[in-house]
Amino acid sequence: MNAIEYELRQEFPSLDLNFKNEFILQPFNNNIHDDQEFRISEQLFPYIRFIRRDFGDIYHYNGDDELFENFTIYLESPVEYRIDRQNLTCQRELATHGIVYARLDLNTMISSSTINEDLLISKLWDMGIGLTNIAGRCTTSETQESTIYYTANGEKYTAGDEALVQTILKQSTLSSMLGLSNNATNDDIKQSYNRIMNKLNTKWHCIRSGSIAHDKLDTRYHEYFNEQN
């Protein structure tokens, strides 16, 4: 906290003596359990263009293999906020899960202003493979679908919801809209249709072209069963 405050004062000398790090973002209505909306420090507000908060874990290598020394690995779930410049507040806009990246401390690898390029290349190659494996384990269909978008009026939907809408818009047959094969039974179609309708029940209008997708799916569904009769 003190380090961040020191860096802020170096960057923005106009901050007054009463400024504290904890004043950067304060929960709206002082509700510490509500992370949907925050008040932004008036002193910092003129300099703010973008707000993101990162949650997650940091890993340091403690072994004796020089290829893996000096790396710091981050597993993060960032939350991005939409700024309301009139009210000096910000609200959640996007929550992403499973971001994996690493930082390499080059200072520890430099000797007499030179660097061992072969060792650096080996480090980057090995850690690239390692990060790819970590990302593969962390990036599942569940984490992809759990990325959350927040609308201006406080509603939210996931990346999985948006993918469903885009599938409906792109496909031409009822079965493909529902993610089913062409030989799906009527029961399969009914169950899949009801599942999607229930899942997106209050979200259709939040997602881009969601209302169009809803009408398209609903119309094609009823046409299909009218044809059956």
Per-residue pLDDT, 210: 94
Per-residue pLDDT, 137: 72
As a dihedral over the C-alpha atoms of residue 201, residue 161, residue 31, residue 41, rounded to 10 degrees, the angle is -130
Distances (CA, A) of 202 to 112, 161, 199, 205: 63, 11, 8, 7
Indicate whether 138 pLDDT > 80. no
Confidence of residue 194 (pLDDT cuts 50, 70, 90): very high
d(CA 150, CA 81): 9
Domain boundary among 96, 126, 154: 154
185 and 221 in a single domain? The answer is yes
Domain boundary among 154, 185, 220: 154
| Spatial contact of 135 and 98, defined as CB atoms under 8 Å apart | yes
Domain boundary among 124, 154, 184: 154
170 vs 104, which has greater pLDDT? Answer: 170
Give kind and range of the element (H or E) at residue 80. strand 71-84
54 and 108 in a single domain? The answer is yes
26 and 73 in a single domain? The answer is no
145 and 166 in a single domain? The answer is no
9 vs 137, which has greater pLDDT? Answer: 9
Per-residue pLDDT, 34: 65
Residue 124 lies in domain: 49-154
Output the pTM of the full model.
0.59
- The number of domains in the chain is 3
Type of residue found at 142: E
